[in-house]
Structure 1
Amino acid sequence: MGGADDSTATDAATGQESRRHAQSRRFAILLAGHSSPYSQQRYGDYNGMFLALLGGNGARGDADKGGKGGGAEEGGEDAGGGEGEQWDVYAVVDGEFPSDEVLAEVEAVVVTGSKHDAHADDPWVVRLCAVLQRLHQRKTKILGVCFGHQVVGRALGGRTGRAAVGWELGIKQVQCSADVTSLPYAAGLPPSFHILEIHQDQVLELPPGAVLLGSSPGTPIEMFAMGEHVLCMQGHPEFTKDVVEDLVVNRTKDGVIPEAVAAEALKSLEMYNENIKELRTLCNSFLRS
């Protein structure tokens, strides 16, 4: 049987846990889609890939097991992020959105890739645009990747749509603009870098006030920023070569990607360097600065 000492110890532990959460830096991953069966089995859903990129080791809810995300109000357990950090995951593609109270507490959100169109008027896409507008007004940090890059561009007044060149697949070289040097979190970024891509949509016009940070021949708006609180990129810093290979092979089998385009993309993957550090540093510096 437990006595007074047990009760005191329990109260102390509870108090320590409450203080730990109160002192945590809070972040959120907004899942705009789910990764392929191969990727879910090997890496978890997109949140698992981003936490690996950003130095975390797990995430709130069941999204890392291939299921839906869980937010604070849904009772998911906090299981991830770096020391002193809390990462929540919300499968917005399934209609799971953070509450206004959570949005007021988070320091930054990450908006993931998706097979869906950022220029579509699906209810969840429209709702996501409204959330991003509120976060922008509060100057909450927003990191948008692929679909996330596009939907942030749309939400903040830019224009997105199908790329004139069609599919952009495999490894692409991005040339940085001179404006990169003005951003403190981008100090270590080289004049050009390689990144993995798989998309047929892109940002066609920048939002008002946005600064172009990078471009490539097929994707003129590869990367942009707004102030020091918005960073978006078309490529996938969270992907590894096998993730793109799996997507290209299976979408080609399904008739979504032309075989000739797929063959060229798969060949380009031979030059991919798994040890690229610059984009990891860029994303981490942006979110945590």
Structure 2
Amino acid sequence: MQPPLRIAILECDTPIGHTKEKYGGYGNLFKELLNNGADEIARKDGVKRPELDITKYDVVNAELYPTLDNIDTVLLTGSRFNSFDNDTWILKLVDFTKKVLQQKRVRLIGVCFGHQIIGRAMDVKVDRSTEGWEVSVVPVELTKKGKELFGVERLAIHQMHRDIVYTYPASVEKLGHSDRCEVQGMYEKGRLITVQGHPEFDGDIVEELLVSRHEKGIFPDGVYEDGMKRVREHHDGVPVGAAFLRFLLEE
């Protein structure tokens, strides 16, 4: 891809509380992640910093989508909604994702819910996990390809999910697994990269979610307390953001 990298962020949810006050929407959170990733590439790879042209689309309320001719990449964000539900906007999102997969130029990035939507669009099972919630900073054991892409031996990444992609589509390379989730990331050169975790999150954001969902009774005491123990641990969000951009720059 020639610069600038034209990235369309499909906002699949709206942040809460202080996170919403600070960022407005998840698109701005990913804009920060990708810009930090661009800085990381310039620093570590010794190359010119990638130029980014980021646009945002509300696919939940406005059901807005980009024109593929005007972009190079579609990034699907996380969401509190279920990727396997059949709400009108979710079905429309799955159809759009299939449209992207059917062509060769525009690439896909999926995060959490977005990772699951891509799995669903590729006709593999996406559903509630039998292992329950996976929250806060979690270690992910990486495959050889995962280590190569993320530049770390073991990935520490924030999680906030109880839905999973159950099996890998035949065409993708496996990136890693955790104790509670076998499909932590998918990759297909020139086509897609996904992660089940949240590279865009930090301790403040995840702590706010843990507290909110505990107060609402979504998280039982055990899940909340376990998550709070790990919420301030080191996480590799920026290396994942840099990996997303390296994926876009691959010939």
TM-score normalised over the length of structure 1? 0.76
Which residue of 244, 247, 254 maps to 2:206? 244
C-alpha separation in 1, matches of 2:51 and 2:159:
32
Provide Cα deviations, 1:187-222, integer angstroms capped at 9, x if missing partner. x52221100011110111222312211111111111
Match of residue 124 from structure 1: 89
Q: Which has the higher contact order (CA 8 A, sep 6+)?
A: 2
**Does residue 1:91 correspond to 2:58, yes or no?**
yes
Which residue of 239, 242, 246 maps to 1:281? 242
Match of residue 40 from structure 1: 20
**Does residue 1:227 correspond to 2:207, yes or no?**
no
C-alpha separation in 1, matches of 2:136 and 2:242:
22
**Cα shift at 1:285:** 1.4
How is 1:62-211 mapped onto 2 (pairs within 5 angstroms)? 85-99=52-66, 102-139=67-104, 140-180=106-146, 186=149, 189-211=151-173
C-alpha separation in 2, matches of 1:203 and 1:169:
16
Percent identity between the aligned chains? 28
The letter for the 2-side match of 1:233 is: V
C-alpha separation in 2, matches of 1:116 and 1:272:
27
The letter for the 2-side match of 1:130 is: D
Provide Cα deviations, 1:238-280, integer angstroms capped at 9, x if missing partner. 111110000010011001111111100110123235x764223
C-alpha separation in 2, matches of 1:123 and 1:50:
25
Match of residue 30 from structure 1: 10
Match of residue 53 from structure 1: 33
C-alpha separation in 2, matches of 1:40 and 1:28:
20
RMSD of Structure 2 on Structure 1 (CA): 2.0
C-alpha separation in 1, matches of 2:51 and 2:191:
21
**Cα shift at 1:25:** 4.1
Kept in 1: contact 2:78–2:113 (CA 8 A): yes
Distance 1:270 1:25, change over 3 A: closer
**Cα shift at 1:111:** 0.3
Which sections of structure 2, spanning at least 5 residues, go unmatched? Answer: 37-48
The letter for the 2-side match of 1:248 is: L
Kept in 1: contact 2:201–2:237 (CA 8 A): no
Of 43-52 and 107-116, more deviation after overlay is shown by 43-52
Distance 1:48 1:224, change over 3 A: same
The letter for the 1-side match of 2:32 is: A
C-alpha separation in 2, matches of 1:152 and 1:208:
13
The letter for the 2-side match of 1:87 is: I
Distance 1:43 1:149, change over 3 A: same
C-alpha separation in 2, matches of 1:48 and 1:85:
13
TM-score normalised over the length of structure 2? 0.87
Kept in 1: contact 2:199–2:237 (CA 8 A): no
Distance 1:84 1:179, change over 3 A: closer
**Cα shift at 1:36:** 1.0
Of 224-233 and 191-200, more deviation after overlay is shown by 224-233
Which sections of structure 1, spanning at least 5 residues, go unmatched? Answer: 1-22, 57-81
Provide Cα deviations, 1:39-87, integer angstroms capped at 9, x if missing partner. 011233111110001118xxxxxxxxxxxxxxxxxxxxxxxxx985432
SS in 2 for 1:90: strand
C-alpha separation in 1, matches of 2:5 and 2:130:
41
Kept in 2: contact 1:32–1:93 (CA 8 A): yes
The letter for the 2-side match of 1:49 is: L
